[in-house]
Amino acid sequence: MLEGFLSYLSDEKLFNRQDSLLVAVSGGVDSMVLLDILWHSGFQVMAAHVNHGLRGAESDADQYLVVDYCSSRSIPFEVMAVMPDTWQKSGNFQEMARDLRYEWLQSLCQKHGYRYILTAHHRDDAVETFFMNLTRGAGLHGLKGIHTTMANIVRPMLHLSRQEIRHYAAEHKVPYREDSSNLSPKYVRNRIRNEVLPLLQDVDPRIRTGITHTMANLTADSELLDYLVSQWADIHIITDAERMTLALHELPPGEIGVNLMFHVLRPFGFNHAQAREICHSTKVAGAVFMSQSHRALADRGKLDIVPVKTDGGGSGSIPIHPPIVLSLGRARFEVEYREIQGMPDFEKNTQYLAVNDPADTFEARLWQPGDRICPYGMGGKSKKVQDVLTDRKMSLFEKQQTYVILSGGKLVAIPGICIDESRKINQNTDKIIVIRQLPNH
């Protein structure tokens, strides 16, 4: 297996002996075998272990195993211990834990100058991920399986099965610990691993090999699709130093056009729902769609795509000139000015902000650490935006997609959540901003 591993590294050109490698090590058999192979092969490695603190003594025992193994072999290591109260009571724990791990691993790479982050995902993990994505309605790109490389993250064991890894551990006496949560049926991956795949294997013992070949075929088809989309984009998209422009009438009609738009926009962080909305906005003046890196403005049959960092608003902000439709992360809002006399009739899923000065200007951007707001109804008490989002039981992914609205550099609203006390309306207010949340298509 060791020879096969080294041949795979060479054939795929994943990394070489001159590269410094940060290895994510849980203490389980997969990551311990990966670390053992790299150490025996003479690679420059450092181990990184996260103690999530959720299984009490079991979590601590995982940490002790990794520390003892590394110490006895003079392998440098780092450990991050997470307090149990860090985790929210709701939301996708596995997603939150993954985000936390990768954020920490990337920080270690910068701190120590390591070139690659290595994880111990293997062929069976890829098969399980295929079924998970299949049940979620994933498209072609989601069914390709786990990428061997993604930026500086490398998964050098995707050619190996779980059985081969366990055989190596037994033969070379690699210490490891079994995670009891891997048997829990509350996690979808565990049920696929422990219930679904064994049943399918009874039907056809070739199921894992067959799925692996299917993923390879889908990868080839996905690469072909990317090539064809790129060819279409080269012909139909006009690019200059600041923006990309596309005439929406040049899209094919119906679902083909929607899917083509999605594949054109996907590299810029836009989702399928936004692509559909853009295709339906040919007669709308000034519909704005945001991803984490780009802004797309659909205006009178033309689509402009602009990197946020060069948008002129500063800190990735975009100016708001009502009336306008904003697609901010996973939510859509219609924003308009309204003249009023007295208090308005309050509508559901709608926020109302007083325009305190005729010269007021507004802009939107992703929230940033340190942002604060005085939520209306709290008597002017200031609160961190991060705490406002946490109180709403939002997942890390939802938090990352949350935008705020500012006026004159001051945060005045979190669309769909709250407005600042300074923008509450009263009997003397004569002009307001109305922010109405729209359904996603």
How is the chain split into domains, by residue range?
Answer: 2-213, 240-438
- Please tell me whether the peptide bond between 76 and the residue prior to it is cis, using omega within 30 degrees of 0: no
Q: Which of 238-247, 269-278, 306-315 has the lowest mean pLDDT?
A: 306-315
pLDDT > 60? residue 284: no
Question: Residue 68: what pLDDT?
Answer: 94
Q: E strands, 25-168, where?
A: 44-51, 77-81, 116-118, 149-150, 153-154
pLDDT, tens digit, for every residue of 182-220? 777 878 888 999 999 999 999 999 999 999 999 999 989
pLDDT, tens digit, for every residue of 358-371? 888 899 888 888 89
For the domain covering 2-213, report its CATH number.
Answer: 3.40.50.620
Distance CA 30, CA 49 (A): 13
Q: Residue 47, Cα to own-chain centre: how many angstroms?
A: 24
**The whole model's pTM is what?**
0.64
Is 385 exposed, middle or buried (CB count within 10 Å of its CB: 0-12, 13-18, 19+)?
Answer: buried
∠ CA 123-129-130, nearest 5°, is 90
pLDDT, tens digit, for every residue of 76-126? 999 988 766 655 544 556 677 787 888 889 989 988 889 999 999 999 999
Q: pLDDT tier at 314 (50, 70, 90 boundaries)?
A: very low
22 three-class SS: strand
